[in-house]
Amino acid sequence: MLEDRRFQRFTLIALCVLYVAVRLWRMSDSCLWFDEIFSVHAAEHDWGTLYWFVAQDLIHPPLFYALLKVWIGIGGESIFWLRLLPLIFATLSLLPFILLCRELKQTRSTIVLAIFLLAVNGSLINYTQRVRMYTLLVCLSLFSIWLFARYFNRGKSLVALLIINLFLVYTHYFGLVIVGCEVTVVLLLQRIKWRGAAAISGSAALALLPWGYAVLIASRSGSELSQNIAWISRPGLQEIWTFIFDLIEPFYFQFSTTEPASIYVVTVPLLIIFLAAIILFLIGLRKVSTDERRTHVFLAIFAILPILVALVASWLLPYSIWGSRHLIICAGPLALLMANIVLRVGSEALRISAVSMIVILSIWAFALQATRPQTLYLWCEWDVIGNDFASNARDDQVSRVYTFESLVAYHIWFATRNASNIEVNDVSGFGESPDKEVYFLPRGFDRIQRKTIQEIAGDKIWLVFRTQAVGEENVLLEALKQRGYSQCPSIPMRFAMTDVFKIEMVKPPVECDP
C-alpha cells in the first residue's frame, strides 16, 4: 500500500510537470493574433484611460488587462513573456483543483486520472498559449468551487469565497454562471444555507454595479453589443458536437477554419469510452453510496449547468453567447466527474483497459501533433509586413499604408505603432472581407484613419490586402490606375485559398523603390 501511495504521488508530480511542459511547448512559435493584440493594446494605456478603453469594448471586465499591464511593466512585451502570464494562471489552477479533489474526498487514482485529462486537453493548452483572460477565468473559477465546497461541506471559507468571486466576475461575465451554479447547489442539496447563497449571489451582483455603470455609459456613447457578438452562431447540432469534441480532444485544437475541426481517429474512440463508462455507471447507480451520489450531483452542476445556460440563453437572447472560450470553466469539474465515473464502473480489468486506452489515444494524439508541420497562419503575414514597414521607416518621409479590412489594419498598426511617420488607413468600399463581422477596430481608437477609395492620396503609397478569388485584386488596381497610379512589381503570398498582397503604387515621376 505504501509503495502504491508513493507511486501515485510520483505520478501526480510527473503529471503536473507534463501539464506545464505541454503548455510551454511551441508557446511562442506563432505571432500574436487579433484578440491578443487588443489585450496588449489595452494594457499599454495609462491607468487613467485603461478602464474606459476596456469598457467601450463591452464584453469583458478589466481585471486581466490590469494584471497584464503590471506584467508588461515587469518584463516587457516579448511573445514568450506575454504568454507566460496565462501559463502562470493555468499552472496555479492545479492548486485549487487538487484541493477541491481532497475536499470532495476523491481517491488518489481519481485525482491522477483527472489531472491527466486536464494536462492533455487541447482546448486548455490552446487558451493557455493566448494572451487572454481565459486561464485566469479557469483559475479563479476553480478557487471559487473549492472554497464553495468547503462552505458547503463544513460551513467554512465564506468570506474568502466572496472575495474570490469578486475577482472572478471582474475577469469574465461567465464568472456569474459559476456563482449561479453555487446558488443552485445550495438550493438543490442544502437549503438550510440559503442565507449564504443569498450572500454569494448578492455580493457578486453588487460588486459588478460600478463596472456595469461604466459599460452602460460606454454603450450610450455609440458602442453596440451587436458588433461584438452578433456574428456568433446560435448553437445547433454541429456546434454542440464540435464543443463536445473540444472537451475531450487531447493536444489538438482547431485555431483556424483552414484546419480540421477534430482529429476524429482519436476523439471518436475517446467519446465511445466515456459514453460507455457513463452508461455502465448509470446502470450500477443503485450501488453508489448517498455521499458519492451527492458528490456526483455537485460536480455535474458545475460541469453541465454552464453549458445548458449558454445553450438556452443563446436561443432566447437577441444574440448568441455560445463559445468554447468561456465554457472551459466546465473543464475542471467535468474532468473530475469523468475520472470518478471511469474508475467506478465494471471490473478492475475493465477499468484498467479504459484508462489504458485513454492514455494510448492521448499519446497517439501527441505524436500526430508533434509530427504535424508547423502551421503558418495568415495573420502572421500582416505582422511580417508591418515589421518590414517599421524597419524601413524614414523620419523625413511619411509612409502611407492602405488596408481594406479592420483585421489587417489593426495588425499593421500594432507592428508599426512605435515607428515614426507611418500612417495606417482602413479603406472601405473594396470587396467584402470574409471576417468583416468578426473583427473591428477598437472603439475610441483613432490611430487608424478610416478612408474611402476616393480619399486615397499620396505620390507613393502601399496597399496591403488579401483576396480569395482569382483576379479580385484587379478591380482595386484598375481604380487606382485610373487616378494616375502605376503598380510596382510585387509577388503575392499564398495561404491555402487566400492570396496576400503588399503592393507599392506610385504617381510618375515618382519611381518605385528598388
- The region of weakest confidence among 54-63, 93-102, 294-303, 418-427 is 418-427
What pLDDT digit, counting tens, does each position of 464-480 carry?
999 888 888 899 999 99
The mean pLDDT value for 168-176 works out to 97
Average pLDDT over residues 395-411: 91
Nearest CA-CA partner of 249 in 278, 274, 232: 274
Q: Is pLDDT at 427 greater than 80 in this prediction?
A: yes
> Lowest-pLDDT range, 25-39, 277-291, 349-363?
277-291
Q: Could you tell me how far CA 456 lies from the centroid of its own chain?
A: 36
User: 323-332, 393-402, 432-441: lowest mean pLDDT where?
Assistant: 432-441
Nearest 10 degrees: Cα torsion 376, 380, 381, 382: 160
pLDDT at 178: 98
Partners of 495 in the beta sheet?
498
Determine whether 248 is exposed, middle or buried from the number of CB atoms within 10 Å of its CB (0-12, 13-18, 19+).
buried
Assign 1 a pLDDT band (cuts: 50, 70, 90): very low
Stretch 309-338: mean pLDDT, rounded? 96
* H helical segments located in 93-208: 94-103, 108-120, 122-128, 134-154, 158-169, 175-189, 194-207
Q: What is the mean pLDDT of residues 431-438?
A: 62
The whole-number average pLDDT for the span 151-164 is 96
Higher pLDDT, 420 or 334: 334
**434: pLDDT strictly greater than 60:** no
SS3 per-residue string spanning 307-348: HHHHHHHHHHCCCCCCCCCHHHHHHHHHHHHHHHHHCCCCCH
Residues in the chain: 514
pLDDT at res. 513: 79
- Report, as an integer, the average pLDDT of 186-214: 95
Mean pLDDT is highest, among 71-85, 246-260, 368-382, for 71-85
**Beta-strand (E) ranges in 150-308?**
none
Pair 144, 34: CB distance under 8 Å: no
Bridge partner residues of 498 (DSSP): 495
Dig out the grid coordinates for 111 from the structure: 485525482
Residue 175: the pLDDT is 97
What is the spatial distance between Cα 301 and Cα 182, in angstroms, rounded to a whole number?
Answer: 9
pLDDT value, residue 432: 57
Contact 508, 486 (CB under 8 A): yes
d(CA 42, CA 410): 13
Integer Cα distance of 166 and 488 in angstroms: 57
Burial-class residue 262 by CB neighbours within 10 Å (0-12, 13-18, 19+). buried
Which domains, and CATH codes, for the chain?
2-370 (no CATH), 378-506 (3.40.50)
What pLDDT, on the 0 to 100 scale, is given for residue 487? 94
Give the confidence band of 3 by pLDDT, cuts at 50, 70, 90: very low
* 425 DSSP β-pair partners: 402, 449
Residue 426 burial (CB count, 10 A): 22
Question: In this model, does residue 97 exceed pLDDT 90?
Answer: yes
**Across 70-79, average pLDDT:** 98
pLDDT in the model for residue 74: 98
List b or e across 475-490, with b for residues whose CB sees 16 or more CB atoms inside 10 angstroms. ebeeebeeeebebeee
**443 is written with which cell numbers?**
472603439
Position 119 scores a pLDDT of 98
The overall longest dimension of the chain from CA atoms, in Å, is 89
> What is the rounded distance in angstroms from the CA atom of residue 294 to the CA atom of residue 277?
19
Kindly report, residue by residue over 109-150, the tens digit of the pLDDT. Answer: 999 999 999 999 999 999 999 999 999 999 999 999 999 999
Q: How confident is the model at residue 2 (pLDDT cuts 50, 70, 90)?
A: very low
* Phi, psi angles (nearest 5°) of residue 289: -65, 160
Q: What is the mean pLDDT of residues 365-377?
A: 90
Nearest to 228 by CA among 443, 456, 378: 443
pLDDT per position as a tens digit, 215-247: 999 988 777 888 888 889 899 999 999 999 999
State pLDDT tens for residues 239-274. 999 999 999 999 999 887 778 899 999 999 999 999
pLDDT surpassing 80 at residue 430: no
Which of the four pLDDT bands, split at 50, 70 and 90, describes residue 336? very high
Residue 57 has pLDDT above 80, yes or no: yes
pLDDT of 155 > 80? The answer is yes
Mean pLDDT of 371-399: 87
Q: Is the pLDDT of residue 394 over 60?
A: yes
DSSP character for 121? B
Contact 348, 109 (CB under 8 A): no
Give the mean pLDDT of the chain: 92
Average pLDDT over residues 368-396: 88
Are 408 and 500 within 8 A, CB to CB? no
Nearest to 120 by CA among 378, 292, 416, 358: 358
Which of helix, strand or coil describes residue 221? coil
Contact of 366 with 358, CB cutoff 8 Å: no
Q: What share of the chain is helix, strand, coil (3-state, %, to 5)?
A: 60, 10, 30
* Confidence bin at 436 (pLDDT 50/70/90): low
Q: Which of 418, 471, 488, 465 is nearest to 41 (CA)?
A: 418
pLDDT at 437: 61
